Amino acid sequence: SRVVKLAVIPGDGIGPEVVAEAEKVLDAAVAGTDVVIDRTRFALGAARYLETGDTLTDDDLAAIAGHDAILLGAVGGVPGDPRLRDANIERGLLLKLRFELDHYVNLRPSKLYPSVPGPLADPGEIDFVVVREGTEGPYVGNGGSIRRGTPHEVANETSVNTAFGVERVVRYAFDLAERRRQKLTLVHKTNVLVHAGGIWKRIVDEVAAEHPDVAVDYLHVDAATIFLVTNPGRFDVIVTDNLFGDILTDLAGAVTGGIGLAASGNINPDGAFPSMFEPVHGSAPDIAGQQKADPTAAILSVSLLLDHLGLTEAARRVTRAVEADIADRSSDPRTTTQIGDAITARLQA
């Protein structure tokens, strides 16, 4: 049998609720195969910080890094909770994992499944993937402020874009476009961010020369948000920096039926570190503990996880079970558990 060592980080808020359903589906997807999932649970997040004062210790990080993959629910407390100000769960835990485990590809597929109610009147076919850079850009925390508390305070946040970092994610995006519909859109803001935008544009042009069959275009990020709403069918692979990718993928989630369906993978394509799979959404404190969260995003993240591990058939079965469930959805509300059970049952049928 093949043993997969899986680190599970349920996290905060709806994180544990959606992860419980994702794990059920994972078990059903590998049942009857020779794959054995060997799980370790890590209690990390806002709740753990409030209890112990720890965010992510070196020991936690080393233990997680020893796994084959990571499944994460969501971390973070109520935005603005003063008790969490110093912890900075987002930087100290989530981004620390992405940076330390070199998740330079943040893969965020968007697909509008038939019969899913979305906000667009005439959406057409939507099926694109955002390849969001995951380790650089304005997320690096290379900033600072001076003269705090005076009228002359200065606060800076630097966007770091290295040739190495941009090239590797751009190459990944081109390879993905080759396997899809051979279309790649670079999204940036080169008209204003001339240095950061310049290196992205140059590297995309260079790598494009090696992929003559991929049609390449460029959009400024503001215009990209227009087309994501007016003509989302024009996109196949979008490659963009860490911050633009964050913003575009919440919008992409919204136009494809809601954030409760949006899955993601934080990928280390080199395999030096475990990749991490998580829904795009957060811990949703407003609906936590009420069984109102849609676990589909977490379940589709399991499909991305299986695919990443080379368990292609199991991944496809999960996606198909989700598609079938979505096609059957009525307007009757279901609990988080009911949705998870329904998808699990389809896998067992």
The residues carrying an active-site annotation are 139, 189, 222, 246, 250
Pick 91 or 147: Cβ nearer Mn ion: 91
Beta carbons of 263 and 301 less than 8 angstroms apart: yes
Q: Rule CB under 6 A: is residue 205 a binding residue for ligand NAD?
A: no
State the nearest-atom distance from the C-beta of 84 to ligand NAD, in Å: 8
x/- map, 217-256, Mn ion, by CB under 5 A: -----------------------------x----------
Q: Rule CB under 6 A: is residue 50 a binding residue for ligand NAD?
A: no
When CB distances are held under 5 to 8 angstroms depending on the partner's kind, the choice from ligand IPM, ligand NAD, Mn ion, none that residue 263 binds is none
Of the listed pieces 19-27, 62-70, 283-291, 313-321, which binds ligand NAD according to CB under 6 A? 283-291
Count of positions on this chain that bind ligand IPM (CB under 6 A):
7
Distance CA 53, CA 55 (A): 7
165 is in an annotated binding site: no
236 is in an annotated binding site: no
> Can you give the C-alpha Rg of the chain in angstroms?
20
Pick 133 or 325: Cβ nearer ligand IPM: 133
Q: Rule CB under 6 A: is residue 111 a binding residue for ligand NAD?
A: no
x/- map, 217-256, ligand NAD, by CB under 6 A: ----------------------------------------
x/- map, 81-100, ligand IPM, by CB under 6 A: ---------x---xx-----
When CB distances are held under 5 to 8 angstroms depending on the partner's kind, the choice from Mn ion, ligand NAD, ligand IPM, none that residue 74 binds is ligand NAD
Contacts (CB under 6 A) with ligand IPM, residues 233-252: 246
Q: How many residues does the chain have?
A: 349
Beta strands in 123-195 (DSSP E): 127-133, 143-146, 154-157, 183-188
Q: Provide the β-strand partners of residue 11.
A: 74
Burial call 232-268: b when 16+ CB within 10 Å, e when fewer: beebbbbbbbbbbbbebbebbbbbbbbbbbbbbbbbb
User: What does each C-alpha distance from 155 to 60, 86, 89 come to in angstroms?
Assistant: 32, 18, 21
Q: Going by C-beta distance under 8 Å and a sequence separation of 6 or more, which residues neighbour residue 245?
A: 106, 108, 130, 131, 132, 133, 238
Beta carbons of 79 and 283 less than 8 angstroms apart: no
Q: Provide the β-strand partners of residue 183.
A: 215
298 is in an annotated binding site: no
Return the sign of the alpha-carbon dihedral for residues 61, 55, 43, 71.
Answer: negative
The site for ligand IPM (CB under 6 A) is made up of 76, 90, 94-95, 246, 280, 282
Binding residues: 98, 108, 132, 222, 246, 250, 282-294
Binding residues for Mg(2+): 222, 246, 250
